[in-house]
A and B are shown apart, each in its own frame.
Chain A
Amino acid sequence: MSNGATPVYILVGAVLVLSAIMAAAGLGNTLMAIIVGAVVVWGGYKLYATQIDRKVIQSDARRATPARMYMDGVDFVPTSRNVLYGYHFKSIAAAGPIVGAITAGAVWGWLPALLWLALGVVFMGWASDYSAIVVSVRNDGNSMSATAHRLIAPRTRMILFVFIFFYLLLVAGAFGNIIAGELTKPTVPLGIIVLAIMGVVAGQMLYRMKLDLVLTTVVTVGLTLVAIVVGGLPGSPVAALFNGLNGAVDGPAPQGVFQVLNPLTGKMDPVKLSFLFWLVGGFVFCYFGAVLPIWRYAQPVNYIGFWITALTIVLGGLGAALAVFLNPKVGTFAIPAFKGFMGQAAAGAIQPLWPMLFVTIACGAISGWHALIGSVGTARQIESERDMLPVGGGAMFSEFTLGLLSLLAIATVAQGSGAPAFAKGMAGFLSVLAIPPEAGEPLASAAFVIIVITVVQLVFRVMRVVLVEALGDRAPIFRNIHFNTLVSMLLTFLLVASGTWIYLWQLFGGANQLMAALSLLLVTVWLVSTRRNPYYAGLPFAFMYLTTIAALLVTIYNLYATVIVPSLGQAGREFAVAGAGAMVLVALLLVVAALFIGYDGWQALQRYQERPPRVAQAPAPSQ
């Protein structure tokens, strides 16, 4: 890696200088951030990623890929790089880059979030996604777990499954909280209810009535958009109806059913019955997605949701780019650049920038989930080895821009944080394109909920498969799809009821980043076993491994010091203690699993350094 390192230093320097100018000279605005983003994407891809692809991996268009060798028309299908780029990006881009960026911006300010997004994707994110595809392509299209089983140790596969289950549980918990919080706003539920109905209608139109896709799209997406806007108009009868419903549900306990700590402000917030009502409502939405045939509900809902979120994000991105010229007030950053190393936290809690920032923003900078998906879905469709970088690396750099846009949305809003601030910021960007905020804000809110809820319904679907695989033989009741879906939802409910959302999010980030570390470890072992320079993957592995374990330990401390100890023995806080206790156990389990992986990885590295490698034979060039 010594060759060609200078341009990378120049790139890092450019990013740091531009960011410092933005922060010091008060030039924090959307245009400057977009320039930083463009420098990162262009420089990272051209100056660094391409060098690794050519010099270390030595991708060769003449070498037959698994898609060409094992073409079966089902899993192994050579696919155009453009189609595959779109497919991979859609597979990896969900709520992670959005929620992570807006949470980190609120806790530490926009500058650390921007720098981690930029430097993370340049040095780690693309490397993890791209390399997972490379290792799979060079190992007969085997999944990450199968390759880890062979290259590192048999138990690594089992540990990966443990990671996957808890990752899914934490995703469901973190996102379930967001869904319930957003649905309690009276302007949001109509759009989501209509989305569910349109999902069923779209499935019927496409697969039963065999109607044209374009017609189906126009009807279902159009009606959903109308419902979102109509339901979101302030003072509309629909909003009044849902307001009345919330009031009626809260009636028996207007002060809330129990209290939970807000880890950012340190105050006790009430959990109202309307929140629990909409949490269950979100679960009902996801229940259908988990148990019905996928064509009947989950897939059409995702399809409609895709168009709504894509429309919002593309228009929002355009508005952010033009804001400085057309409406500078909208494009100027309103939150502080840096809130201090310890960030904003409740009394007694600690949120040190290292390591917590690096798990708060996961997707957008680096994510283990991408590697997992890339190794089983995308790698088996790669037509030429020269497509691995534009597909794997390109999609990751694109996800970085999604994280950046989310950061810009909350950075330009002076008050509030989280999802409401994101919706306000996006509505500001949309207003630059003459879309009134009365329509833009509900659209952004709905798009946000849609991204989250479509992920959660699939998460429950995968969780029930995991439960069948893990427990189906020992306890036959777990083979019942309704039972195992309800068990998954009950566990998720417990996590959400603890109320300490940010800790839940950081635990999810920890599980995700540990999976990324495992992926990078696997890549490092493979690079060593094939006598290639391992540093481009090995150094990010070491950083992510240590950082994530430290972040999990900090989260355990926060849960213990600010939730469990103050709540023990207090009436009405049993849920908070139980939820926090469950989170501590999950965090401890993840730390232990990480230690096993680290030990096994170290052993594997020693093994391959000491004796000639035993690697899968690379397929012969096709011509």
Chain B
Amino acid sequence: MPESEDQPAKRSGLLGLLDTLREVMYGMASHDMTRHAIRTRASMEHLFILITMGDLLGVPILPPYYSLRLLPYVVPQISTWKRRMLREKDLTDAMS
């Protein structure tokens, strides 16, 4: 998979090894914490979108005026939100 343009080129030699070690240590120590923080924020955001734009998923929402005022801010997240809300989930998803 080619590297995207915004990713720095991988270093070689000892520096590359140090980069690898740094990434592995980050993965062991902190990646889980980062993921959890991101998920917490996403859950809040998605809940907010649900109560304002729920009619996009078929949930009837009464005050469309505020929905329309908020719509421009929500547009970038709509596809992600829809996918996450409608995705089939079960107990095991809570363990990830």
Residues of A within 8 A of B (CB): 61-62, 70, 72-75, 79-80, 82-91, 142-146, 157, 160-161, 164, 213, 294-295, 299, 302-303, 306-307, 310, 372-373, 375-377, 380, 383-384, 386, 462, 465-466, 469, 622
Query: Which residues does chain A contribute within 8 Å of B95, judged by CB atoms?
Result: 372-373, 376-377, 462
- Kindly list the 8 A-B residue pairs having the minimum CB-CB distance in the complex, ordered from nearest: A86-B27, A82-B23, A377-B96, A376-B96, A83-B27, A86-B28, A86-B24, A87-B27
Total interface residues on B, CB under 8 Å, equals: 31
Q: How far is the CA of A200 from the CA of B95 in the complex (A)?
A: 23
Please list 16 pairs of residues, one from A and one from B, whose beta carbons are closer than 8 Å in the complex, sorted by A's number. A70-B83, A75-B96, A79-B31, A83-B23, A83-B27, A85-B24, A86-B31, A87-B31, A89-B28, A142-B88, A143-B90, A145-B92, A146-B92, A295-B37, A295-B40, A310-B28
Query: Which residues does chain B contribute within 8 Å of A386, judged by CB atoms?
Result: 1
Q: Do the beta carbons of A73 and B1 come within 8 Å of each other?
A: no
Q: Does B26 contact A (CB under 8 A)?
A: yes
Query: Which residues does chain A contribute within 8 Å of B96, judged by CB atoms?
Result: 75, 373, 376-377, 380
Beyond A146-B90, A303-B30, 12 additional pairs, beta carbon < 8 A? A73-B42, A83-B23, A83-B26, A87-B28, A90-B27, A90-B28, A90-B31, A213-B30, A295-B36, A307-B29, A310-B28, A466-B91
Contacts A82-B20, A86-B23 known; A73 to B38 CB distance under 8 Å?
yes
Task: State the Cβ distance, A155 to closest chain B Cβ, in Å.
Answer: 14
Report B40-96 residues with CB < 8 Å from chain A CB: 40, 42, 80, 83-84, 88, 90-96
Query: Which residues does chain B contribute within 8 Å of A377, judged by CB atoms?
Result: 95-96
Q: Do the beta carbons of A87 and B90 come within 8 Å of each other?
A: no
Closest to A385 in B: B1
Q: Do the beta carbons of A465 and B31 come within 8 Å of each other?
A: no
Partner pick for A299 among B25, B26, B36, CB 8 A cutoff: B36
Query: Which residues does chain B contribute within 8 Å of A294, judged by CB atoms?
Result: 36
Task: State the Cβ distance, B16 to closest chain A Cβ, in Å.
Answer: 11
Interface majority SS (helix, strand, loop, mixed), chain A: helix
Q: How far is the CA of A160 from the CA of B27 in the complex (A)?
A: 28
Q: Do the beta carbons of A75 and B20 come within 8 Å of each other?
A: no
Q: Does B39 contact A (CB under 8 A)?
A: yes
Partner pick for B90 among A79, A82, A145, CB 8 A cutoff: A145
Task: State the Cβ distance, B65 to closest chain A Cβ, in Å.
Answer: 29
Q: Do the beta carbons of B32 and A90 come within 8 Å of each other?
A: yes
Partner pick for B92 among A62, A85, A144, CB 8 A cutoff: A144
Contacts A72-B84, A74-B42, A377-B96 known; A87 to B32 CB distance under 8 Å?
yes
Closest to A374 in B: B96
Q: How far is the CA of A83 from the CA of B27 in the complex (A)?
A: 4
Q: How far is the CA of A83 from the CA of B33 in the complex (A)?
A: 13
Q: How far is the CA of A90 from the CA of B94 in the complex (A)?
A: 17
Query: Which residues does chain A contribute within 8 Å of B20, judged by CB atoms?
Result: 82
Q: Do the beta carbons of B26 and A164 come within 8 Å of each other?
A: no
Task: State the Cβ distance, A464 to closest chain B Cβ, in Å.
Answer: 11
Query: Which residues does chain B contribute within 8 Å of A306, judged by CB atoms?
Result: 28-29
Interface majority SS (helix, strand, loop, mixed), chain B: helix
Most B Cβ at <10 Å: residue of A142, A143, A161, A383: A143
Q: Do the beta carbons of A303 and B29 come within 8 Å of each other?
A: yes
Q: How far is the CA of A372 from the CA of B92 in the complex (A)?
A: 7
Q: How far is the CA of A86 from the CA of B40 in the complex (A)?
A: 22
Q: How far is the CA of A82 from the CA of B93 in the complex (A)?
A: 23
Q: How far is the CA of A294 from the CA of B84 in the complex (A)?
A: 22
Closest to B43 in A: A74
Q: Do the beta carbons of A86 and B33 come within 8 Å of each other?
A: no
Query: Which residues does chain A contribute within 8 Å of B93, judged by CB atoms?
Result: 143, 376
Task: State the Cβ distance, A202 to closest chain B Cβ, in Å.
Answer: 11
Query: Which residues does chain A contribute within 8 Å of B24, judged by CB atoms?
Result: 82-83, 85-86
Task: State the Cβ distance, A207 to closest chain B Cβ, in Å.
Answer: 9
Query: Which residues does chain B contribute within 8 Å of A161, judged by CB atoms?
Result: 90-91
Q: How far is the CA of A191 from the CA of B59 in the complex (A)?
A: 52
Closest to B45 in A: A74
Q: Do the beta carbons of B88 and A146 come within 8 Å of each other?
A: yes
Query: Which residues does chain B contribute within 8 Å of A295, judged by CB atoms?
Result: 36-37, 40
Most A Cβ at <10 Å: residue of B25, B26, B84, B92: B92
Closest to B40 in A: A295
Query: Which residues does chain B contribute within 8 Å of A465, judged by CB atoms?
Result: 91, 94
Query: Which residues does chain B contribute within 8 Å of A83, judged by CB atoms?
Result: 23-24, 26-27, 31
Contacts A376-B93, A469-B91 known; A61 to B23 CB distance under 8 Å?
no
Q: How far is the CA of A36 from the CA of B42 in the complex (A)?
A: 47
Partner pick for A73 among B26, B33, B40, B80, CB 8 A cutoff: B80
Q: Do the beta carbons of B33 and A84 come within 8 Å of each other?
A: no
Q: Do the beta carbons of A164 and B92 come within 8 Å of each other?
A: yes
Task: State the Cβ distance, B72 to closest chain A Cβ, in Å.
Answer: 20
Q: How far is the CA of A79 from the CA of B38 in the complex (A)?
A: 14
Query: Which residues does chain A contribute within 8 Å of B88, judged by CB atoms?
Result: 142, 146
Q: How far is the CA of A580 from the CA of B32 in the complex (A)?
A: 37
Query: Which residues does chain B contribute within 8 Å of A70, judged by CB atoms?
Result: 83
Task: State the Cβ distance, B30 to closest chain A Cβ, in Å.
Answer: 7
Q: Do the beta carbons of A299 and B33 come within 8 Å of each other?
A: yes
Query: Which residues does chain A contribute within 8 Å of B80, judged by CB atoms?
Result: 72-74
Task: State the Cβ distance, A88 to closest chain B Cβ, in Å.
Answer: 8
Task: State the Cβ distance, B80 to closest chain A Cβ, in Å.
Answer: 4
Q: How far is the CA of A299 from the CA of B39 in the complex (A)?
A: 14
Query: Which residues does chain A contribute within 8 Å of B26, judged by CB atoms?
Result: 83, 86
Query: Which residues does chain B contribute within 8 Å of A372, judged by CB atoms?
Result: 92, 95
Closest to A70 in B: B83
Closest to B46 in A: A74
Q: Do the beta carbons of B1 and A61 come within 8 Å of each other?
A: yes
Task: State the Cβ distance, A309 to closest chain B Cβ, in Å.
Answer: 10
Task: State the Cβ distance, A621 to closest chain B Cβ, in Å.
Answer: 11
Q: How far is the CA of A375 from the CA of B95 in the complex (A)?
A: 10
Q: How far is the CA of A497 from the CA of B22 in the complex (A)?
A: 44
